[in-house]
Chains A and B, each alone.
Chain A
């Protein structure tokens, strides 16, 4: 066994994986448990995750979506591709095609990489999941009015228009309206005057 391979084995055993230093505001829920799991448990988790991923290979990326209240669909549909938080990013990217732009953020001190894929009207952010070494979707951001949520809400709408389409929010301030599901949130951020939506975000949420 050459030195490089032995080093890799050591690192894999020792480390369940490290995300980019500060790639996100805090770790995704799926990461929390896995990152603190002992090496042996990690191996088991990897096996399970790999098997699950394999059996789910034919299903859409939305299969990994957390459960959500009936009124709001916490997945974003991009021209027929359902994108869910924690879905496998490679499957999503394969379905969406090559992004207009890609930004990659390698982790500090390990081989995980976070990506931001930019498509027309929206961006997909990913993180390396230590449980199965796969990149997962962390957030989807709708950046202009050419795209919309399943409820029909989009950039440029007023807060009232959003609430008419999506119902009463779980959280609201001058700056945003938020709907929460199980481990996921749909957020509408307002412009500086609080009058119009300027960004829509699907993201992991505690």
Chain B
């Protein structure tokens, strides 16, 4: 065999090995298409068209409490929620930074609940927030900031190192969604149409220290600076979720920060504002006050869309053909999903359509 043939053969084998490993990695990574669809939220952004006036960043209090469809339908605001479960503030920062590689929104909205977490919390939530990001410096920095003690940077570069043990647990979803997940979200919004009133919500037990961690302030500073430098208006919000308890001492710190840097801060837990938005925690939440259902999210978005339009002079873009077509697709899926969940509620008593065993 000539040297050329040996080189060609070697290169081919190396390429085949890399392809095989990449395929194995894709197969073994969780597809998040069962009960934990939230694991696909972050990757979903890269199919969003990158044409948004408003970008939300934050945890479940963002992606379950605001309906971008309502903001589009009522005000012509194109918005997206870059959120994931228990998204920590540095993860919100790096997801915002990542998004700015693709687009420049007029307004960034950050939900402040995650200020309470000053250190990495949980690998599984990390995975849901980070694995879906495309490779960039932002992702690399996000990994370094987020890793818990027992995690390794390399396992995020090569997730197969983390998920190889799933080999025996592969299921139909792993093959069905090998090439990608089905769209489960509506411009980053996770929709629920069921109702569970907020009752017996406990107030927070006292804490010995209410000060937010230095790390959180550093990342809030970084987020503010990033927005300043790129001409984006930053708005701080606290969604009207009544649990986990939002301490007045925490609220005061955010109020003072917002005042110091002339940032708008909207605390939707404020009683007067709650009345103004029309949110009724006996009917507008699906899990006892932790998150809004679609009816609550629409009320909030109705109010917040008007606020954003008015405060930042956001134009009505419903007359833009390409953008309108994009939102038409989302809107059709949105109403189909509401109808599907309502139908399931009627037939089975739950939004997923799970048949409960007969008693």
Contact = CB atoms under 8 A, between A and B. Distances in A.
A6 interface: yes
Interface stretch (A54-62, A63-71, A99-107, A157-165): A99-107
Interface string B120-152: 011111001000000000000000000011110
A108 B85 contact: yes
Contacts of A33: 150
A7 B35 contact: yes
B148 A123 contact: no
B116 A35 contact: no
A105 B290 contact: yes
Interface string B1-45: 000000000000000000000000000001001111011000000
B173 A35 contact: no
Given A21-B86, A106-B287, A35 B122 contact: yes
Contacts of A111: 35
A97 interface: no
B188 interface: no
Contacts of A139: 205
A159 to B, nearest CB: 14
Given A20-B244, A105-B288, A189 B206 contact: yes
B217 interface: no
A199 B118 CA distance: 26
Contact of A13 (B122, B151, B165, B202): B165
B162 to A, nearest CB: 8
A27 B121 CA distance: 7
A8 B202 contact: no
Interface residues of A, number: 58
B202 A25 contact: no
B288 A11 contact: no
A141 B204 CA distance: 10
Given A13-B166, A15-B124, A116 B149 contact: no
B117 interface: yes
B128 A10 contact: no
Interface in B187-236: 199-202, 205-208
Interface residues of B, number: 51
B288 A104 contact: yes
Task: Output the residue of B85, B86, B166 with the most chain A CB within 10 A.
Answer: B86
Nearest to B201: A103
B156 interface: no
A176 interface: yes
Interface of A: 1, 3-4, 6-11, 13-27, 32-33, 35-40, 101-106, 108-111, 116, 118, 123, 125, 139, 141, 171, 173, 175-176, 178, 187, 189, 199, 201, 203
Interface of B: 30, 33-36, 38-39, 59-60, 85-86, 113-114, 116-119, 121-125, 128, 148-151, 162-163, 165-166, 169-174, 199-202, 205-208, 243-244, 287-288, 290, 354
Q: Which 4 A-B pairs give the minimum distances between C-beta atoms?
A: A7-B34, A6-B171, A36-B150, A22-B244
28 contacts: A1-B171, A4-B34, A4-B354, A6-B171, A6-B173, A7-B33, A9-B169, A11-B34, A11-B35, A11-B36, A14-B30, A18-B124, A18-B125, A19-B122, A21-B60, A22-B86, A22-B113, A35-B121, A36-B148, A36-B151, A40-B165, A106-B287, A110-B124, A116-B202, A125-B205, A187-B206, A187-B208, A199-B205
Given A10-B170, A14-B124, A109-B128, 20 more contacts: A6-B173, A7-B173, A10-B166, A10-B173, A11-B30, A19-B122, A21-B60, A26-B117, A26-B121, A36-B151, A38-B162, A40-B165, A101-B200, A105-B244, A105-B287, A108-B59, A109-B39, A109-B85, A118-B202, A123-B202
